[in-house]
Structure 1
């Protein structure tokens, strides 16, 4: 598996997140469609979501694991045990990647045969356009070579961020729930643009690219968000007036409360 272009990746379960990852892999260009396999309960739906793009649907998890070098467990957390245990012997020789939130290394280790090489992750949906985040648990059983291979395989999807086990939940909330919060902000910003005369499509396009560019600037430069905000706020200028209005309305506390509500629900 030294050549990244020859790696076969198989998705057990092909819901929204698995489809997002597959789309990102195809977009990246280094994984041919014919190297991507998927299985799911609804065969007709699976075929609709794979065959038009050149990906290969298979009927069973057993068949998929036999085809793939890297097996991605993309089913719901409560389904992991039932899916994994019958194919444990087949998985023992593969690189196993879990996408199940709340299913860290130690828990997955109980479902897999001893010695199986696996890594637990939490991706977000922007992986489909190559600007996503894949939270990776620092505790894993991949070899250094296998981990490097996974990094190369997932490089087109965006940022891979390792975190300690006890931080997987909050990291997943920030990166996985955050797109919903940002989408609400973009929608509101677009509405404001429309209120002042912009065509809605233009307003949304401007808001989307502004968020994408600002986020990329932060990640690549490593600047503090406060410093980036300050750089746009001229003395007695227009931006600081808007910032002050957001502060009065409690934007920061609202976002913190939203994340806190999610963490307290778990």
Structure 2
């Protein structure tokens, strides 16, 4: 696989997470990373100084030299960007990381035969710990798959899915970290109410999350691990009973459904 010149249209958190992961773990596969946005010179200068990437507002002038183009803007901006990009594309591999944007929309606005893909990573990409879901368009060949798998391997683990599965799983892998962080936030607040410092509370909660994740990584089901912590009639059982009475499973499923519905709305806006 030839070294890649990768053009990012968008310079937000996700673009930074991906390019950071690539430069840390796949630098030998990268010829150049070019980052663009429409107007924020300060943000571009920040990324240039921090990572040594090429930064420019004139993304159109960079399309010809790019091997791979990453659409890393908000979902509502993708359609307009595709319309502008269409006349400039000449065989480059194009993929988006925007929620709700399938390969069909990309193929509709780009020249016939353009290889495209849709990827849903999460912000742990910067640590090489993203869970990325992806699907390909109709014109993708083996060399494009090799490029995408190189990129995704640089930012974590990845799973190929159907387009419909990605629509439904966006909340589970992409947005659910925010749910987890909110859970951690509440536990920290609760711990501090019992008199420990903010630093102590943070260490306790992070350590608990980390250890629990390691237990899950061993392969046992969450239900078995939960039962291992829960003595019938005991303290943990009392807490779990409250979660069931307050319909915690239904609440979480509703959060997933709301996330997915909003992602689809944003793609149409």
Q: TM-score w.r.t. structure 1 length?
A: 0.85
What per-residue deviation string (whole Å, max 9, x for no partner) do you get for residues 145-189 of structure 1? Answer: 321231122213122122212222221122222122111100111
Match of 2:196 among 195, 198, 202: 198
Q: Which residue matches 2:151?
A: 153
Give the 5 Å matches for 1:213-232: 213-215=211-213, 217-218=215-216, 220-232=217-229
Distance 1:132 1:208, change over 3 A: farther
Q: Which residue matches 1:37?
A: 34
Distance 1:59 1:52, change over 3 A: same
Match of 1:12 among 2, 9, 12: 9
Q: TM-score w.r.t. structure 2 length?
A: 0.84
Q: Which residue matches 1:108?
A: 106
Unaligned runs of 5+ in 2: none
CA contact (8 A) 1:51 1:57 kept: no
Residue 204 of structure 1 and its aligned partner are, at CA, apart by 2.0
1:163 aligns with 2:154: no
Moved more, 114-123 or 65-74: 65-74
Unaligned runs of 5+ in 1: none
Distance 1:79 1:14 in 2: 13
Distance 1:75 1:156 in 2: 20
1:25 aligns with 2:22: yes
Distance 1:110 1:148, change over 3 A: same
Distance 2:227 2:52 in 1: 48
Moved more, 114-123 or 26-35: 26-35
Q: Which residue matches 1:176?
A: 174
What per-residue deviation string (whole Å, max 9, x for no partner) do you get for residues 100-146 of structure 1? Answer: 22221111101110111110122222212222222212555321232
CA contact (8 A) 1:77 1:102 kept: yes
1:131 aligns with 2:129: yes
Distance 1:71 1:262 in 2: 27
Give the 5 Å matches for 1:227-238: 227-235=224-232, 238=235
Distance 1:216 1:145 in 2: 35
Distance 1:141 1:205 in 2: 49
Alignment RMSD (CA, Å): 2.6
Distance 1:141 1:200, change over 3 A: farther
CA contact (8 A) 2:36 2:58 kept: yes
Q: Which residue matches 2:244?
A: 247
Matched pairs, number: 262
Q: Which residue matches 2:185?
A: 187
SS class of match (2:101): coil
Distance 2:199 2:29 in 1: 33
CA contact (8 A) 1:92 1:115 kept: no
Distance 1:17 1:82, change over 3 A: same
Distance 2:135 2:49 in 1: 32
Moved more, 176-185 or 137-146: 137-146
